[in-house]
C-alpha cells in the first residue's frame, strides 16, 4: 500500500450568527447545573444526618453549602458562556444570568419555598447569588481574554 501524503483538512464553513450564542447558553446552563447539583449532594452528604433529616429545618451548613455550590456553578457557567461567545457582546451571559435568576426566584415570587425546610430568605438569596455569579464569571473571562491569560 503506497504512503499517502498528509494534507491539512479544509477549513470549517462559517457558522451562522445564532449558533455560537445558542451553544454557549446551553453549555453555560449545563456547567452551572452540574456543579450546583454535585455541590448540593456533597453538602447534603456532609451535613444531613438521620431518618428525619428532610423533615426538620435544614442545618446551617447545608444551606450555606448550597449557596457556595450555586455561586461556584454560576461563576463557571458565566465563564463558559463568555468563553464560547468570545468576540461578541455579553448579551448571552446576561441571558444566562436571567434564566438562572428566574429559575431560583420562582418559589420566592410565588410566596413559597422550593423546599419547605429552607429558611424564608433562602430562595431570593439563591437567585441573587446566581445572577451576580454568572455576570462576574462572564466579566472575569472577558478580562482574562483581554489580558491574554486564556488561550
Determine, yes or no, domain membership for 10. no
Is residue 71 situated within a structural domain?
yes
Q: Is residue 2 part of a domain?
A: no
Among the ranges given (36-40, 82-86, 113-117, 131-135), the one the predictor scored with the smallest mean pLDDT: 113-117
pLDDT at 136 over 90: yes
Residue 12: per-residue pLDDT: 67
**pLDDT of 50 strictly over 80:** no
Q: Count of domains in the chain?
A: 1
Please tell me the distance from the alpha carbon of residue 29 to that of residue 3, in angstroms, as a whole number.
46
Q: What is the pTM of this model?
A: 0.81
Instruction: Report if residue 91 sits inside a domain.
Output: yes
- Residue 14: inside a domain, yes or no? no
**pLDDT tens-place string over residues 13-46:** 776 678 889 999 999 999 999 999 999 999 988 8
Q: Which domain holds residue 68?
A: 21-147
Considering the domain boundaries, does residue 1 fall inside one? no
82 inside domain: yes
Amino acid at each position: 500500500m503506497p504512503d499517502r501524503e498528509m494534507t491539512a483538512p479544509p477549513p470549517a464553513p462559517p457558522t451562522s450568527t445564532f449558533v455560537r450564542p445558542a451553544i454557549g447558553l446551553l453549555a453555560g446552563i449545563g456547567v452551572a447545573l452540574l456543579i450546583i447539583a454535585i455541590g448540593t449532594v456533597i453538602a447534603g452528604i456532609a451535613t444531613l444526618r438521620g431518618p428525619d433529616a428532610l423533615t426538620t429545618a435544614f442545618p446551617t451548613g447545608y444551606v450555606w453549602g448550597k449557596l457556595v455550590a450555586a455561586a461556584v456553578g454560576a461563576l463557571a457557567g458565566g465563564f463558559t458562556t463568555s468563553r464560547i461567545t468570545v468576540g461578541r457582546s455579553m448579551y448571552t451571559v446576561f441571558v444566562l444570568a436571567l434564566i438562572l435568576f428566574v429559575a431560583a426566584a420562582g418559589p420566592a415570587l410565588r410566596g413559597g419555598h422550593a423546599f419547605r425546610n429552607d429558611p424564608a430568605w433562602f430562595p431570593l438569596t439563591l437567585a441573587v447569588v446566581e445572577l451576580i455569579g454568572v455576570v462576574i464569571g462572564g466579566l472575569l473571562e472577558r478580562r482574562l481574554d483581554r489580558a491574554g491569560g486564556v488561550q
